[in-house]
Structure 1
Amino acid sequence: MIRRFGETPEKGRTYTRRPGVYALLPQGKDLLVTWYDDGQNPELQLPGGGIDPGESPITALHREVFEETGWLIAAPRRIGAFRRFTYMPEYDLWAEKICMIYSARPVRPKGPPREEFHEALWMDTAVAVQMLGNEGDRHFATRHLNRL
């Protein structure tokens, strides 16, 4: 059983299962995070996103982190998972997100984020824990902070 964070699923609503991968990218006391702002739903996020059909989770993790931060990563290690039920306005979709969380080492930037509305930020982990946009991301960032 995967732990659920966030809202309880609504009875009668159909949710599409969306597996995804997300990364804690620490460097010292800081985390590399992404600020998403489409003008309507601004949110601080762990870099990551959906796994494309036929794509492995590790390949998706490298792709998503690069698209959202412009950084290359190394040594990804899965540290847990959670699920949450949410509406995804960018896809007009009610989703059951299966979020696999990895810890990885940020290696180097190759340029700005390639995904629209994303900005890569280095942030003190303690501040990120307070500002991350969903409870599951905050849970894993807090676990990381408690190990510092």
Structure 2
Amino acid sequence: MLQFGEKQPDHEYRDRPTAFGLVERGGKLACVRIDRGEGPYFDLPGGALDGDETEQQALAREFVEETGLTITPAERIAEASQYFVKTTGEAINNLAGFWTASVVKEDPAAKSEPDHTLVWIDPNEAAASLRHEAHAWAVLVWIRSQPSGPGNS
């Protein structure tokens, strides 16, 4: 698996299976703006698998919690790992599956994470703005897979 980030020598990293989604609407990608008081940052919607969840189940749950969007996962287009230290100080290595998905319905009231805000961002801007290198790389993989992407005309 492709590995992003660098281990900090004073941290023990815990592997954490995760799933993140790429949902397109009107040429823009769904992202979440997260603001926990240290300055906002952008991620792809998604997160850790709970218990015996599959990546698809975790992705669907996380999308509702973070964005209020009910989605249907479609295709797993990439996988990559990302070392990082959470705002809590916990050192994590996200073992991420990246999925395309489509929106089934929108219910902003279903969103349960108040520090997450759904934003629609141009894919190139998303690739430049996302906090994690693995997320930016997955967006580039997605861009290249599009019918109008490089080499696909």
Structure 1 CA distance, aligned partners of 2:121 and 2:113? 20
Structure 1 runs of 4+ aligned residues shifted over 3 Å read 10-13
Structure 1 CA distance, aligned partners of 2:23 and 2:87? 26
Q: Number of aligned pairs?
A: 145
Structure 2 CA distance, aligned partners of 1:62 and 1:77? 13
One-letter identity of the residue aligned with 1:28: G
One-letter identity of the residue aligned with 1:33: C
Is the contact made by 2:65 and 2:112 (CA closer than 8 Å) also made in structure 1? yes
Match of 1:143 among 134, 141, 144: 141
Stretches of structure 1 that go unaligned for 5 or more consecutive residues are none
Matches within 5 A, 1:9-88: 9-11=7-9, 13-88=11-86
3-state SS of 1:137 partner: helix
Is the contact made by 2:78 and 2:141 (CA closer than 8 Å) also made in structure 1? no
Q: Deviations over 1:38-75 (max 9, x none)?
A: 11152111000111122222111100011111001124
One-letter identity of the residue aligned with 1:138: A
Q: Deviations over 1:126-145 (max 9, x none)?
A: 22122111111111112222
Structure 2 CA distance, aligned partners of 1:41 and 1:106? 29
One-letter identity of the residue aligned with 2:5: G
Structure 2 CA distance, aligned partners of 1:21 and 1:36? 17
2:151 is matched with none
Q: Output the aligned Cα RMSD.
A: 1.6
Structure 2 CA distance, aligned partners of 1:74 and 1:15? 31
Scaled by the length of structure 1, the TM-score of the pair is 0.89
One-letter identity of the residue aligned with 1:137: H
Stretches of structure 2 that go unaligned for 5 or more consecutive residues are 149-153
Report how far residue 11 of structure 1 moved. 4.2
3-state SS of 2:108 partner: coil
One-letter identity of the residue aligned with 1:56: T
Structure 1 CA distance, aligned partners of 2:84 and 2:32? 19
One-letter identity of the residue aligned with 1:52: D
Is the contact made by 2:32 and 2:118 (CA closer than 8 Å) also made in structure 1? yes
3-state SS of 1:4 partner: strand
Structure 2 CA distance, aligned partners of 1:102 and 1:19? 14
